[in-house]
Amino acid sequence: MRSISLSDSAQNRSTEGYVYNSYGKIDYLKHVLASVYSLRRHDQKRQIALFCDQHHESILREHNLLSWFDVVEPLGPAHRSIIGFKHNVEKYMPFGANLFLDSDIIWCKNPDELWKSFSTYSFTITGHLKSDIFFGSHKDFRVLSDVLLNRRRKTLKRFGLTYLSRVQSGMIYAGNFDTAKSVCELANMYMQSKDDTHFRSRILPDGSTEESDEWGFAMAMSRLSLPVIPWYQGSRSPQLDFIRSYVRFDPEFRDVHYLYYNSQLMNDLRGIKSDKIRNFISRSMHLFPGMNDHTWVTPFSLHFGWKHEKVPFESFAQKVWRRITANTNISTAKSANESSSE
């Protein structure tokens, strides 16, 4: 692959491509490279763009890794945050159809069928049609105050909305610039009106340092009547959260199988951090007919979004980094993967 800039790539406007962003600690750049490394096992035809800060670009240049990307462009200082980038994705659309990805994603199989699914949308994000009571709010018993005071319903009424989807923005598809711009402008407007909603700040003592982009997107998509692409689709799931007790995998993530329940409620239990509590609730739910119906699937990708479940991904990312920097002759993810088939 040849590293090019947006100004040199007018032909990209009619193509499909993946878009990553990277800034700050070098670990985030390593995450992007690990994700690209896994992606190139399954897709060697679509282009990949990276928007990054100058420090990360210099690291790529130092290690002869710029050629891993077809487009490498600066990421503006104002956009070096979760909201800063995702609520401005219309400014970073180098391709005709763009799939924006979090860096902590590992690809598990060929995404051709996934692209076919996305192609029917002008703009969409993975998610559920209906958000649960925890979306954008407290993740514990304090959420009961929202329920008792009807805060979710009041938010919808205050902003003239009739529904609220559950958005998971680790995977955003943008195939139309005007639609993407409209969504982002609305999402930013809603974010500025946060105090008039029931949503809670993520900048809290628990260590979170950035606000969530997701509820702003959910409100914007509701206003524009844009549907989410279903998060849970069995073997066609665009992404599934990595939970160790739900996944059979090898250290290279070449053979991945995910425990998938036919019930959304059962699948949602994987978000409970404690294995003991989750297993207790799960076994109790099995008493109801059909709740234990399950299969093992290979989703298109695994998303390592839970902090307490990131260790296998961090290990993989460090391994990939050592592998690709040990031999400067390895210039593409394709050749790197071919040389590490052990």
If residue 221 lies in a helix (H) or strand (E), which one and from where to where? helix 214-223
Handedness of CA 206, 207, 211, 217 (dihedral sign): negative
pLDDT over 60 (residue 148)? yes
Residue 171 token pair:
């995977």
For residue 339, pLDDT over 70 is answered with no
**What is the predicted pLDDT for the residue at 3?**
47
**Spatial separation of the C-alpha atoms in residues 311 and 136, rounded to whole Å:** 25
How far, in Å, CA of 139 to CA of 327, rounded? 45
Strands 229-230 and 294-297: unpaired
- Note the pLDDT tens digit of each residue in 79-121: 999 999 999 999 999 999 999 999 999 999 999 999 999 999 9
Percent of the chain with pLDDT over 70: 84
Residues constituting the chain: 342
Structure tokens at 143: 């959420």
pTM over 0.95: no
The ranges assigned to domains in the chain are 120-231, 240-297
- What is the C-alpha to C-alpha distance for residues 25 and 166, in angstroms, rounded to an integer? 30
149-185, pLDDT tens digit by residue?
A: 678 888 889 999 999 999 999 999 999 999 999 999 9
Mean pLDDT estimate for the chain: 87
Give the Cα separation of 155 and 143 in Å (integer).
15
| 307's tokens | 């902090």
Encoded tokens for 13: 């406007």
Asked if residues 50 and 94 have their Cβ atoms less than 8 Å apart, the reply is no
pLDDT of residue 4: 47
Using alpha carbons, select from 44, 4, 16 the residue that is nearest to residue 332.
44
Query: What's the confidence (pLDDT) of residue 270?
Result: 73
122-143 residue pLDDT tens: 999 999 988 776 676 655 556 5
> Burial level of 166, CB count in 10 A (0-12/13-18/19+)?
buried
